[in-house]
Copies of this chain bind each other. A is one copy, B any other.
Amino acid sequence: MDIEALRNAHPEHWSKAAAIRVLTLDAVAAANSGHSGMPIGMADVATVLFEKHLKFDASAPNWFDRDRFILSAGHGSMLLYSLLHLTGYEQFPIEEVKNFRQWGARTAGHPENFLANGIETTTGPLGQGIAMSVGFAMAEAMLRGQLGKRLVDHYTYVIAGDGCLMEGVSEEAISLAGRHELEKLVVFWDNNNITIDGTVDLASRTDQVARFKANGWHVQEIDGHDPEAIDAAITAAKKSGKPSMIACKTHIALGHAAQDTSKGHGALTNPDQMAAAKAAYGWTAPAFEIPAEIKSAWEEIGRRGAAERFAWEERFAALSERKQAEITRRINGEVPPKLASVVRALKKQHAEALPKVATRKASELALEVINPVLPETIGGSADLTGSNNTKTADLGIFDTDNLKGRFVHWGIREHGMAAAMNGMALHGGLKPYSGTFFCFTDYARPAMRLSALMQVAPVYVMTHDSIGLGEDGPTHQPVEHLAMCRATPNTLVFRPADAVETAEAWEIALTQTSTPSVLSLTRQNLPTLRTEFKAKNMVAQGAYVLAEAEGKRQAILMATGSEVAIAMEAKALLEAEGIGTRVVSMPCFELFAQQEESLRKRVLPAGPVRVAIEAGARMGWDQWLLGERGREAKAGFVGMEGFGASAPAEVLYEKFGITAAAVADKVKSLL
């Protein structure tokens, strides 16, 4: 590339873009790790976007109607940090840039949304950014539908690389975006033809332009180093009426010795090569120093959106106080007081009617009373609407002609669904929940981990939660999935035993603002076990005594979900033989672990034999079975050792030995 020709063609643009390039080189060199090539390659696109199009105000990073900028190719984090520093975000002084990738810095190796304002989302696991961006754009459309264009009207811009586009989740995302004609979503593809292993051709010859077109997108192809072409393409994208992909032909590590090579992807720290690149850029300032006129030009960009923000704030201030408070409540993720009261009323009703329903149905019953009082909930299902029971009567279907619709037909796209829920949750103003079969947690897993890591609170409604689903067989029967979810930090895993616990679990899940919830729900009917109405949310304790021993307490049975009823039957068998047996329902390990030790000891006192029952793997139970330091009790487990099988549910419970009789025998063998 003739860098000098590029510089001379657009000198003012070039000096601004060069600032990104040299900050990237300097920060990566200081850290002696990181990814230099992508920020250098995409600096022109980012400069034009921020200078001419992105609606933002660096002094108000959380302005609700700002455009969102998603760096899906998260390894190029120095692109984002450079922009945040240059445009004057308070949390990104030059010291942060100097501390790139160090302990305690906001400039982590990959962008982490929870570390600073201006970072809209964590990215790094490839494909997640583009998939979340669909959720951002859907949230914008939904809120525009609900609150009107005067309050919500912004774009979502994404930079994605070849890695993002090779990941399967990108197909789920772009297909969804095409289906919903998300016209305010603009994706820049960093078409540099390089991945870590070499040229893209080593692994892919997919015609990305044709692929996006096949998914209903508006597509343009431009020179990603030509600021005029970039500007024109963004302008055209915004007018296209469709989601828009701009294929930007770029040179990775432009102007560096490693340009156009896979070496250019990583950390470019050779001092001589750095010096040569800076010279090519016409850059003479010392490391980490930005000449004043360039910095001030960037800061002007950072202030560009202020007037628009003030106008928006005036429009907001003109709303009624009640409306302002309601929108603020939703942006903050707070639930209305009515949530507690409708859940309480439902519990009362259940304690009287004693419904014998599957917990997936109980979940629907809860949503039927919750959705009308929480206009921010957005439901959905990955093509299992009638099975997941996530659609309530009043939601309406989200569609191009019904932006107010609050139920999303996600299609058979569990991963894209979970990622889009993350995007919605990050956007703010909405509380997404959606369902699939619990076993297909596997498909959604990369995005579910990100929910927990990013500290957002979508609700995963995972039905058909065990061998209890029966004939569909082991591919559909979760065994290790409770352990997998419970092992994940910052995740609440609920396995409610009946309709009352299900309602309580929903109340807790929707009250979270920084922790995702997984509701593991049965296909099969279960009796109501919480027959006595209690206003208190017992699930919030994590585990509690559901039924006390009648005789001398010799055994404690612990169970979750569908197995609590089995524990109650086993208790009856044992009590009939004079063996006093307590039953502890444990709908949420994580909440129980948060309780005071004294309370935990009251629920699980040392001494009696302990047997846990769960139609899943034992892993995770030992902490409660064996006591937190061991030595507390003789213990046993009744559950699954291998995968399930195809047969009617009741046959499977019998064949796999998860029965009241087996539990009673296990207790007696330990006494």
| Interface residue? A243 (CB, 8 A) | no
- CB–CB B412/A195 < 8 A: yes
Rounded to whole Å, the gap between the CB of A523 and the closest CB of chain B is 11
Within 8 A of B (CB), among A74-95: 74-75
B166 contacts A412, C-beta separation under 8 Å? yes
Q: Which of A249-257, A306-314, A360-368, A643-651 lies at the binding interface?
A: A643-651
In angstroms, Cα B634 to Cα A104, docked, is 35
Interface residue from B440, B473, B486 paired with A108 (Cβ < 8 Å) = B473
Q: Which one of B169, B195, B450, B622 contacts A622 once the chains associate, using CB atoms below 8 Å?
A: B622
A22 interfacial contact with B, CB 8 Å: no
Chain B residues, Cβ within 8 Å of A168: 167-172, 413, 415-416
Q: How far is the CA of A385 from the CA of B415 in the complex (A)?
A: 26
Q: Which of A123, A210, A489 has the most CB of B within 10 A?
A: A489
Q: List residues of A (398-435) whose CB comes within 8 Å of B's CBs.
A: 409-413, 415-416
A179 near B196 with CB under 8 A, answer no
CB pair B33 A471 closer than 8 Å: yes
Contact-residue bracket for chain A: 35 or more
The residue from B167, B214, B487 contacting A480, defined by CB atoms under 8 A apart: B487
Q: A446-475 vs B: 1/0 string, CB under 8 Å?
A: 100110110000000000000000111111
State the copy count for this chain: 2
Which B residues are in CB contact (< 8 Å) with A620?
483, 487, 619-620
Asked whether A486 lies within 8 Å of B74 as measured between CB atoms, the reply is no
Contact among B445, B471, B623, B635 for A101, CB-based, below 8 A: B471
Evaluate contact between A490 and B383: CB separation under 8 angstroms.
Answer: no
Among the 9-residue stretches A37-45, A63-71, A199-207, the one with 4 or more Cβ atoms under 8 Å from chain B is A199-207
Contacts of A648 in B (CB 8 A): 101-103
Residues of B contacting A210 in the complex (Cβ-Cβ under 8 angstroms):
210, 213-214
Which residues of A, 199-224, contact B by the 8 Å Cβ criterion? 202-211, 213-216
A-B contacts, 24 of them at CB < 8 A, read A31-B471, A101-B647, A102-B647, A104-B647, A109-B476, A125-B442, A127-B412, A166-B175, A166-B383, A175-B204, A175-B206, A196-B385, A197-B385, A210-B213, A211-B215, A440-B446, A442-B445, A452-B643, A453-B643, A479-B489, A483-B619, A489-B641, A631-B632, A631-B633
Which 7 A-B residue pairings sit nearest by Cβ, starting from the closest?
A: A168-B168, A203-B411, A622-B622, A626-B630, A171-B171, A108-B646, A210-B214
User: Taking beta carbons and an 8 Å cutoff, which residues of A are in contact with B?
Assistant: 31, 33-34, 74-75, 101-105, 108-110, 112, 122-127, 162-163, 166-172, 175-176, 178-179, 195-198, 202-211, 213-216, 381, 383-387, 397, 409-413, 415-416, 439-440, 442-443, 445-446, 449-450, 452-453, 470-476, 479-480, 483-484, 486-490, 617-620, 622-623, 625-627, 629-635, 641-643, 645-648, 651-652, 655
- Contacts A124-B472, A196-B385, A203-B383 known; list 14 others, CB within 8 Å: A103-B647, A105-B646, A109-B471, A125-B443, A163-B412, A166-B383, A449-B480, A480-B489, A483-B483, A483-B487, A483-B620, A484-B487, A489-B617, A622-B622
